[in-house]
Structure 1
Amino acid sequence: MANVGTLASTMAAEEPVRDRLDGPSGPRPKKVFSRTNIIVYGTLFVVAVYYALPLYVMLVTSLKGMPEIRVGNIFAPPIEATFQPWIKAWSEACTGINCDGLSRGFWNSVTILIPSVIISIAVASVNGYALSMWKFKGSEVFFTILMIGAFIPYQVMLYPIVILLREAGLYGSLTGLVLVHVAFGMPINTLLFRNYFAAIPEELFKAARVDGAGFWGIFVRIIMPMSLPIFVVALIIQVTGIWNDFLFGVVYVRPENYPMTVQLNNIVNSVQGVKEYNVNMAATLLTGLVPLVVYFFSGKLFVRGIAAGAVKG
């Protein structure tokens, strides 16, 4: 019996040693500098540099004086940084017959942007809600017409819209341009909202109907609180498209109502006097600042909304 006990204790003592000799259990940890990681991160780094380099050149050029720019080293940081090009681009550069910079165009763009975004998102969200949960007779035909409108080139409809705005007495005004942006933003936003709402469990809708909630009650109390990502997607799409628009701005409004992008074109393409590259770069950065800020603060929700609303339904 003593021999049996000694043998058992010896085997028990050898088991941890055997486990250590066999090595750790579980999957082998991945190497940080594996071939796959080097290729993936190397490619991402090259792409990031490719897209960031023009922005860097624009930024450093906008902070240089013209004598330093004439040296020709576009990649060198400014020796003596100056914000005078930014001040001139904002309030002094000539954008035609006026020399008040981009400030007037900025406020015109804000006046166009806010109502266009609010109205288009509000109407498109209700359209998508009705087409996904309150289907009516002819709803598919209505949706098909909207989708056809999303793929018609803008240039084809320029002249007919000019006639419509002229007959309505809105041609040349900011109100007419707001209506144009609302109309052209409707199809794609309706598609996004419809697909997103179609992925919401139908049981929630039926339970709300049983409890006596109506069309607007369900939309405001149930659908909207669950749909923040897709509202952010629509917001970014509309803000980017409307703020960066040049074609509609130059066609449908008078010179005193030109948006910021049209004034930027007038500054950059001016042939009078010396070509001030620092002012041009500063004006370009000022014009692109609003969409950049919007996307910077809502980028994560944008990705979530695209993933949820663009591939379902």
Structure 2
Amino acid sequence: MADVGILAATKAAEQPVAALLDGPRGPKPVRRFSRSNIIIYGTLFVVALYYALPLYVMIVTSLKGMPEIRVGNIFAPPLEVTFQPWVKAWQEACTGINCDGLSRGFWNSFQILIPSVILSVAIASVNGYALSMWKFRGSEVFFTLLMIGAFIPYQVMLYPIVIMLREAGLYGSLTGLVLVHVAFGMPINTLLFRNYFASIPEELFKAARVDGAGFWAIFFRIMLPMSLPIFVVALIIQVTGIWNDFLFGVTFTSSPERYPMTVQLNNIVNSVQGVKEYNVNMAATLLTGLVPLVIYFASGKLFVRGIAAGAVKG
């Protein structure tokens, strides 16, 4: 019996050695510099360069003086870095009859952005929650009509909205512009929230209902804590769309004092008076796009997670 035990132990010890002698098993490791990898990374590099090159030109041009810009080498880094174009774009550039730069339009854009984002995301989240968890008779018809609104060109709706705001006494005010952004942001955000909430296990909802939780208790205590990624997606979509909007800003604001930043940027870039200051134009453009870029880079990972969870399910 002892010999049998020794023989079994010897065979068990020899098995790993035999496995090593036979060589490694499993899939063949992929070479780091294979032909397919070179093609993939090469393509990604070219695409990244294509999108980064204009941004590079804008940054270096905004840091040059006009004598250096007139030399004509737009790709060369600045010989003498100057931030005067940024200062002028912020507080001295003329946007029509006013020469106070983009500072006034910046705060106008903030007054438009904050309530528009809060209202549109809050209402859309409740809509998506109700359409996914508390379906009622005709809910699918309501959702279909809401989605149709997402595909109607904005230009078609301009004149009717102008009439409605005029009759309500809101035309030309920032409040009217906020309501327009809230209405036009509703369809796509409702779709995102509906699909995201539909991906949450229904057992959680049923268990909460059994425990006696109602509509708002389930929403605030169960759904909201699980919904940070999709809220970030809706936030980025709304901030980007509202902050970069030009059409609604120029249509529904009646005076230069209420113009958002994008309308002021258009007035600076397309000014036909005096010398064309390309460094100031580039600095003004970078200042205008700074807020969406900061928000996106600060929450990029959550944005990807929310898109994956809320855009392809439901």
Tell me if 1:32 matches 2:2.
no
- Matched AA of 1:85: P
Tell me what 2:152 maps to.
152
Change (3 A) 1:21 1:102: same
Q: Distance in 1 between matches of 2:16 and 2:137?
A: 74
More displaced 10-residue stretch of structure 1: 212-221 or 20-29: 20-29
Change (3 A) 1:20 1:101: same
Tell me what 1:200 maps to.
200
Tell me what 2:310 maps to.
309
The answer for unaligned runs of 5 or more in structure 2 is 1-10
1:212-259 deviation line (CA, Å, top 9, x unaligned): 110000000000111111111000000000000000000001221000
Runs of 4+ in 1 over 6 A off after TM superposition: 11-18
Change (3 A) 1:173 1:38: same
Q: Distance in 1 between matches of 2:289 and 2:70?
A: 25
Tell me what 1:181 maps to.
181
Q: Distance in 1 between matches of 2:188 and 2:273?
A: 41
State the TM-score, normalizing by the size of structure 2. 0.93
Q: Displacement, 1:17? A: 8.1
Q: Displacement, 1:271? A: 0.5
Tell me what 2:291 maps to.
290
More displaced 10-residue stretch of structure 1: 29-38 or 53-62: 29-38
Tell me what 2:74 maps to.
74
Q: Displacement, 1:26? A: 3.4
Tell me what 1:274 maps to.
275
Tell me if 1:257 matches 2:258.
yes
1:127-167 deviation line (CA, Å, top 9, x unaligned): 01011111112211211111111111000010000000000
* Map 1:1-313 → 2, pairs under 5 A: 22-254=22-254, 255-313=256-314
The answer for unaligned runs of 5 or more in structure 1 is 1-10
Q: Distance in 1 between matches of 2:180 and 2:288?
A: 21
Q: Displacement, 1:13? A: 11
More displaced 10-residue stretch of structure 1: 43-52 or 136-145: 136-145
Change (3 A) 1:67 1:309: same
Change (3 A) 1:97 1:16: closer
Change (3 A) 1:82 1:143: same
- Matched AA of 2:221: R
Secondary structure, aligned partner of 1:267: helix
Secondary structure, aligned partner of 2:299: helix
Q: Distance in 1 between matches of 2:149 and 2:238?
A: 16
- Matched AA of 2:162: V
Q: Distance in 1 between matches of 2:30 and 2:118?
A: 49
Q: Distance in 1 between matches of 2:118 and 2:276?
A: 39
State the TM-score, normalizing by the size of structure 1. 0.94
Q: Distance in 1 between matches of 2:168 and 2:104?
A: 26
Q: Distance in 1 between matches of 2:250 and 2:224?
A: 36
1:9-55 deviation line (CA, Å, top 9, x unaligned): xx999988876654333333221110011000010000000000000
Change (3 A) 1:138 1:18: closer
Q: CA RMSD in A?
A: 1.9
Q: Distance in 2 between matches of 1:174 and 1:36?
A: 53
Q: % of aligned pairs identical? A: 87
